[in-house]
Amino acid sequence: MKKTLKQRLAILSDAAKYDASCASSGTSKRDSLKGGLGSTEGSGICHAYAPDGRCISLLKILMTNFCIYDCAYCINRSSSNVERARFTPEEVVWLTLEFYRRNYIEGLFLSSGIIRNSDYTMEQMVRITRDLRVKHGFNGYIHLKTIPEASTKLIEEAGLFADRLSINIELPTDAGFEKFAPQKHPKNIRRSMGELKNAIDDASELTLQTRRKKHFVPAGQSTQMIIGADTASDATILGTSAGLYDRYRLRRVYYSAFSPIPDSSKSLPLIKPPLMREHRLYQADWLYRFYGFEIGEITAGRVDGMLDLQLDPKLSWALENRARFPVDVNKAEREMLLRVPGFGTKTVDAILVARAHKRLGLDDLGRLRVSLKKVKPFVTAASWSPARLIDRVDLRGMFAPPPQQMELL
């Protein structure tokens, strides 16, 4: 018997949940005052949160979970016995528009298993985005997962309609690919990323006739790596990320803690997803992108190349580099203020503005909603000097969480 729309929605959203990205920000500003439906205004909106703490911003679904590939880590691999289903393009369009009208979502994140071949699958996905934009005047957000090995022409057409395109690298090393996804070729994935980067660069140049930029993937490209399925260390993973950011100017690399899946392949560990490790990787990724840290600096003090799970990577770096502290909040340069544990980028900006008008003390930092407990050992301020604190042998002990009893499971 044919499955109902509701049954298929259940299957095809269940199959999509291992994609971490739900971003709907950073695209061009649009509204519908001149027609159509939907808007995008810079920052994205999280319309709901699931009990896994993750934001629900987009209707994240697969067009189909049938797949000719057999990647060990994937819930949709061809050898898995999960239930299969398929949406028609019209159904995806209908769901997106009706969900959007009720303000459940910011837009669509469409991915798919690969049916027949890459181009056939990609063509169907491009058709969905074209219908949404052209036939229905949809101005909301669209993230399209491109299919590995799809033709350049299709990717370029997709870029005219989608806000963001992504292609998941999934495994941080080529060795990992060989072991877990033998049908995928990391070289081709990197080539696709390179081609997309070039296309984005081309579109960002002003055209001669209109003097306007072409609308092409305004929210850029992103990717995802699975954490903990293979044996790659954090240093290796972050090194791969840094390479991707630099070479292909990706907007985001997502880290997805490998999570047990139904009918899991026997070649994979059945473990609790390493959520804390995933969190630390995101923090390190932020330090690299917004705080002026090099990946080498972040992982230098770690013998096994693994980030400290107990302390955040900035604090961990500060404890390894005590000679650089304390930092004078009234004099230090922006670069060094950014390295103080407990200071975010906004705090640093506020300090720079405020100190032009007065000498800042700890009470001032408190009003900027800084955790004084955290920053005190690392800064000097008006009538505050931590000279003795920074030399304390037990400084780490002041921050590390108390030992916990192991969970029984």
Partner 1 sequence: MHISRSLTVPQAFLDLAQAMICHSDPARFALAYRILWRLQGERHLLDIPTDPDVARARKMEKSVRRDYHKMTAFVRFKEVPQDGPRRAFVAWFEPDHHIVARTAPFFQRRFTDMDWVIATPMGRSAWDGEALRCDDAPADKPDLSDDTDELWRTYFVNIFNPARLKVKMMQTEMPKKYWKNLPEAEMIPGLINGAEQRVREMADRLASDTAPRFNTRLHAKTQAKTHAKIHESVQSRS
- Does position 107 interact with partner 1 (CB under 8 A)? The reply is no
Q: Rounded to whole angstroms, how far apart are CA atoms 240 and 232? A: 10
Q: Which span (163-171, 209-217, 350-358, 375-383) binds partner 1, by CB under 8 A?
A: 350-358
Q: Which span (147-155, 260-268, 283-291, 307-315) binds partner 1, by CB under 8 A?
A: 260-268
- Does position 330 interact with partner 1 (CB under 8 A)? The reply is no
Q: Which of residues 14-43 bind partner 1 (CB under 8 A)?
A: 14, 16-18, 31-33, 35-39, 41
- Does position 282 interact with partner 1 (CB under 8 A)? The reply is no
Q: Which of 242, 306, 354, 395 binds partner 1 (CB under 8 A)?
A: 354
The set of residues, in sequence order, having a beta carbon less than 8 Å from that of 61 and lying 6+ positions away, is 9, 12, 13, 16, 87, 92, 95, 108, 109, 110, 111
Q: Which of 153, 358, 373, 392 binds partner 1 (CB under 8 A)?
A: 358
Contact criterion met (CB below 8 Å) for 272 and 258: no
- Does position 403 interact with partner 1 (CB under 8 A)? The reply is no
Q: Are strands 55-56 and 48-49 parallel, antiparallel or unpaired?
A: antiparallel
Contacts 24+ apart (CB under 8 A), 314-319: 314/283, 314/287, 314/339, 314/341, 315/341, 315/374, 315/399, 317/287, 317/293, 318/378, 319/395, 319/396
Q: Is 366 left (phi over 0), alpha (psi -120 to 50) or beta?
A: alpha
Q: Which span (57-65, 211-219, 222-230, 308-316) binds partner 1, by CB under 8 A?
A: 57-65
Q: Which of 26, 45, 149, 214 binds partner 1 (CB under 8 A)?
A: 45
Cβ 250 to partner 1 shortest distance, Å? 24
Task: Supply the angle between the helices 234-248 and 275-290 in degrees, to the nearest 10.
Answer: 40
H or E, element range at 109: strand 107-111
**Residues near partner 1 (CB under 8 A), total:** 75
3-state helix, strand, coil in the chain (%, to 5): 40, 10, 50
Q: Which of 135, 211, 212, 357 binds partner 1 (CB under 8 A)?
A: 357
- Does position 53 interact with partner 1 (CB under 8 A)? The reply is yes
Tokens read off for 401: 């969480």
φ, ψ for residue 289 (rounded to 5)?
A: -85, -35
Cβ 5 to partner 1 shortest distance, Å? 7
- Does position 342 interact with partner 1 (CB under 8 A)? The reply is no
- Does position 54 interact with partner 1 (CB under 8 A)? The reply is yes
Cβ 385 to partner 1 shortest distance, Å? 19
Q: Which of 3, 25, 26, 78 binds partner 1 (CB under 8 A)?
A: 78
Cβ 50 to partner 1 shortest distance, Å? 4
Q: Rounded to whole angstroms, how far apart are CA atoms 6 and 312? A: 42
Contact characters 108-147, partner 1, x per CB under 8 A: -----------------------------x----------
With tokens 């994935």, the residue in question is 189
